[in-house]
Amino acid sequence: MRFALFTLLIFIIASSASFAQKSFHQNKVIAHRGAWKANDLPQNSLASLKQAVELGCEGSEFDVWMTADGVLVVNHDADFEGMEIETSTYEQLLTKKHENGEKLATVEEYLKAGKKQKGTKLIFEIKPSKISVERSIEVAEKSVLAVKKMRAEKWVDYITFSYEGGLKAIEMDPKANVAYLTGDKTPAELKEAGFFGFDYNINLLKQNPQWIKEAQELGLTVNAWTVNKEEDLKWFLDQNPDFITTDEPELLLKLIEERK
Ligand code: MG
């Protein structure tokens, strides 16, 4: 009897948790820097990740820089609240806070939060260093090591503007999904180099729509950033992409629902 009650209690706790989803959503929606806009949350905050999870996005994107003392942290801009990340120590950066009171998350803290659920993938952008290409490669190497250490491989897809960083990530984990952002490589070049796909600017893809078909024929994934206007979302949905990166996940979820 006592065992049955215990089992029931565990079941109730597990099923009432907000992170009860058991497999990753497949709705193409990647919340760009988390789902921040509708609720005015700080971009790249743990709160914006949580919101993307609650919306049921397929992925939540975030950006990673390395501090002067080698700590990987999550932020979009090169500076955090006015303090340059690459030339500041982690301790120095802790003197600043997000507007909602959160501190600057380390990659480990971010991955730990993301791993509490299994519905939303973590789209890990390896930011190119402003200091050197060598440093970009080091950020890529440390990023893959951090993901492996946290056993978060199943959750993580990588994206990067750094071609060299992308190649390093592929070398470090040949099974990793690494997509390229810059838009200066053809699908054939990306395939040859071992990339998973591209995530290119929507305007570039509108000018070169043949790249979408080429990528699909090569078995590469197709994604675009940052698709916010309804007409662009509809145009891109018509191309049957794998993912769409947007600041408007609620709108995109609604458009996709309408097409079912
Ligand atoms: Mg980004």
CATH number at 180 reads 3.20.20.190
- For residue 6, what are the contacts with CB-CB under 8 A and spacing of at least 6? none
The angle that helices 107-114 and 46-55 make with each other, rounded to 10 degrees, is: 20
Assigned domain for 96 exists: yes
Residue 14 covered by a domain? no
* Residue matched to tokens 């080091």: 138
**pLDDT tier, 22 (very low <50, low <70, confident <90, very high otherwise):** confident
Judge whether 158 lies within some domain.
yes
pLDDT tens readout for residues 89-108:
999 999 999 999 999 999 99
Residue 248 burial (CB count, 10 A) = 22
Residue 12 lies in a domain: no
Between the CA of 28 and the centroid of ligand 1 the distance, in Å, is 17
Give me ligand 1 centre to Cα 216, in Å.
23
Mean pLDDT over 16-23 rounds to 66
Residue 8: inside a domain: no
Query: If you measure from the C-alpha of residue 77 to the centroid of ligand 1, how many angstroms do you get, rounded to a whole number?
Result: 9
Q: How far is the CA of 40 from the centre of ligand 1 (A)?
A: 18
Q: Give the pLDDT band (50/70/90) at residue 64.
A: very high
Domain assignment present for 13: no
- Within-domain flag for 221: yes
Give the model's confidence band at 1: pLDDT under 50 very low, under 70 low, under 90 confident, else very high.
Answer: low
**Which of 242, 241, 234, 236 minimizes the C-alpha distance to 259?**
234
> Rounded to the nearest whole angstrom, what is the distance from the C-alpha of residue 143 to the centroid of ligand 1?
15
CB 241 within 8 A of CB 206: no
Tally of domains in the chain: 1
Q: How far is the CA of 244 from the centre of ligand 1 (A)?
A: 13
Quote the ligand 1 centre to 174 CA distance (angstroms).
22
Amino acid at 168: K
253 is a domain residue: yes
Distance 159 CA to ligand 1 centre (A): 8
Distance, CA 16 to ligand 1 centroid (Å)?
A: 32
Expressed in angstroms and rounded, the spacing between residue 8 Cα and the centre of ligand 1 is 42
Domain range for 68? 25-258
pLDDT tens per residue, range 187-216? 999 999 999 999 999 999 999 999 999 999
Scan for tokens 């145009």, then name that residue.
Answer: 235
